[in-house]
Amino acid sequence: MTRPADPPTRRHRGGVKPSDLPVHQQRIRQDPLPELSRMSVETPLAADSGPGINDWVATGREEVRSILADERFSTRPPADSDEDSRQLTQIGNPLQYDPPEHTRIHKMLRPEFTLRRIRRMEPLIEKIVGDRLDVMERAGQPADLMRHFAWPVPGLVGCSLLGIPRDDQPDLARNMDLSRRTDRPRKLVLAAANAFDGYLTRFIAQKRRDPSADDLISTLIRNYGEEVENKELVGFCASLLAAGLENMAGMLGLGMLALLEHPDQLALLRERPELMDQAVEEMFRYVAVVPIASPRTALEDVPVGDRVIKAGEIVSCSLLAVNRAQDPDAPADDFDITRENNNHMAFGHGVHFCTGAALARMEMRLAVSALLDRFPELRLAVPPEELRFRPLTLAAYGVERLPLAW
């Protein structure tokens, strides 16, 4: 599958320059601005003066943990009224549900994403990774890691998890891509969106008729029958494909870039492959590919530290600050694959902690291990200053192209 384009957002409409964004959304390549560290220490919960819909921004670790774990904050899409918010909610997307609706969906999905269940996918992921490395090698040097590997691997893994036939994946990917574009004629975008939703609707209907396969959707239908509606399964498929694809593609690209730009750490990992699990956790922390958690709306007045977030006010929680901001007087934030007790929040916190975290960790470990094994001399094929990064206004950060040689 190819990568999806980026959806329009309420927070940043076209024409916003990176320098116009608030401090917690800006980066210099992979690094946050130095001002973010000062902000997280001096004003860990501050009024948000950015060009968006938020009233507050939380950058302190304790403040972010408190807000993300507090069910007095809603994750439904921000709107002028509760009714409007519910109408904007994408049916089947767990990130846009509050308890008790979220509890019901999470109860269905959680058993299918345990480490024990996910390990059954390891041989399949290894094959997907190996096949894409073959493609990359045949493409010749330099080869773009994003095009040949970082985007296709999570797309193929996601489709396999759901049970989408491989022959259907190219058309599905093209329609998902076009349906999320903001730079194409509206008629084409709507047609692609209808085709994408139509395919998933037919796919779920077919699974409902014959749920005998060993995939996630068939398992949910067998276990829950009419308790889970077709439209919920369609929405779950769409959200998993879009979010999983963007986030993992960004992680694979930026994670490998972090290793390549820290040759001492790369050499250490090659020398001590037993550090791979710690290296993966450090990549998740350092990259912070999802810099901001989904907006939270206070359902009532909620004290946070010495401030009070009023009912109806919207707060943005900076995962980039939690993962990367340092006390200004402390040593610089180094990329360190030997880091222990790596308490990052790359997967969020609280009831909306990423359900697919175990799958993401396995996918990252297998992909990075295979890349380093296949290409012992893997290196950047262009000067670092020539790399171009995805716009900072997008939900998931990443590098556009990553040309590599070996």
Task: Compute the distance between CA of residue 252 and CA of residue 144 in angstroms, rounded to an integer.
Answer: 12
Is 13 inside a domain boundary?
no
The DSSP line for 287-323 is: H-SS-BPPPEEESS-EEETTEEEPTT-EEEEBHHHHH
Summarised one tens digit per residue, pLDDT across range 248-272 is 999 999 999 999 999 999 999 999 9
When divided into structural domains, the chain yields a total of 1
Q: Is residue 326 part of a domain?
A: yes
Q: Provide the residue count of the chain.
A: 406
Which domain covers residue 216, as residue numbers?
18-405
pLDDT confidence of residue 328: 67
Tokens describing residue 99? 């308890």
pLDDT top residue among 317 and 4: 317
Residue 44 lies in a domain: yes
Angle between helices 276-287 and 230-260 (to 10 degrees): 100
The CATH number that applies at residue 162 is 1.10.630.10
| pLDDT exceeds cutoff 80 at 393 | no
Cα 131 from Cα 145, distance rounded (Å): 14
Whether 258 is covered by a domain: the verdict is yes
Tokens matching residue 141: 């040097």
Cβ atoms < 10 Å from Cβ of 166: 9
- Entry pTM: 0.88
What is the per-residue pLDDT across 21-39, written as a single tens digit (0 to 9) for each? Answer: 888 888 889 989 888 988 9
Say if 94 falls within a structural domain: yes
Q: How far is residue 40's CA from residue 133's CA, in Å, rounded to a whole number?
A: 41
pLDDT digits (tens, 9 = 90+) for 2-25: 443 333 333 333 445 666 788 888
12 within a domain of the structure (yes/no): no
Q: Letter for the amino acid at 106?
A: H
**Strand 73-74 relative to strand 143-144, pairing:** unpaired
Cα angle 361, 330, 69 (rounded to 5 degrees) comes to 45
Preceding peptide of 100 cis, ω within 30°: yes
Burial 170-190 (b: 16+ CB within 10 A, else e): eebbebbbbbbbeeeeeeebe
Q: Is 218 within a domain?
A: yes
> Domain for residue 11, yes or no?
no
